[in-house]
Amino acid sequence: MRQVGVLALQGDVRAHVTTLENLGAAPRKVRQVSDLAGLDGLIIPGGESTTISHLLITSGLRQPLQGLISSGFPVFGTCAGLIMLATDVIDGRVDQWSFGAVDVSVRRNGYGRQIASFESPIVIDGRGTVPGVFIRAPRIERCGPDVSVIATLDHGDGEHPVLVRQGSAWGCSFHPELTSDVLVHGLFLDALQEALR
């Protein structure tokens, strides 16, 4: 059984845990460094990216996680989690930092503030369609050459990536955990299984 951590410092932790359980994985809430031991991968949930980044520092998790991610440890960031994995954050605060695991430029709240939240069907390349829930979602405005685009969205101004992967790091603009569809999490778990072979 795959042991998958969910960073539980702030954000929508419970829905990720439930989705992982529904897929037969063994989720573990990660709040301190010792919680990282024995994990096969980690999900960084949505929430508020500057709050998450501050709590990663105060909890002592920033450096251990940076080391793991830099060494190829599988990680999946949704919404604010995507911001935490990006190499470049547009419109971030002066003290904004990220792990730099996915070579993308993201704009915080790029699809609008809370009042502009919306849902849209997302076609996952070769796999089917999932409901996409966008809440103060980051917009991916640039992808590096090593980034694979798995899904895009046209929100009236052209196609923008909303689900991407670079090596063992995945990033998603929307909230797959807020629906009953488990396809996106399933793709991440499938990648974990491949990495364990």
**175 an active-site residue?**
yes
Q: Which of 160, 172, 177, 185 is catalytic?
A: 177
Decide: 44 and 84 in contact? Cβ < 8 Å.
yes
Element (H, E) at 55: helix 49-58
Decide: 50 and 28 in contact? Cβ < 8 Å.
no
Tokens of 146: 């090593």
**177 an active-site residue?**
yes
Query: Helix 62-70 crosses helix 49-58 at what angle (to 10 degrees)?
Result: 100
Tokens of 130: 């999932």
Decide: 75 and 170 in contact? Cβ < 8 Å.
yes
Q: Which of 79, 160, 172, 185 is catalytic?
A: 79
Residue 24: CB atoms within 10 A of its CB come to 9
Q: Which of 16, 160, 175, 185 is catalytic?
A: 175
Which residues are known catalytic residues? 79, 175, 177
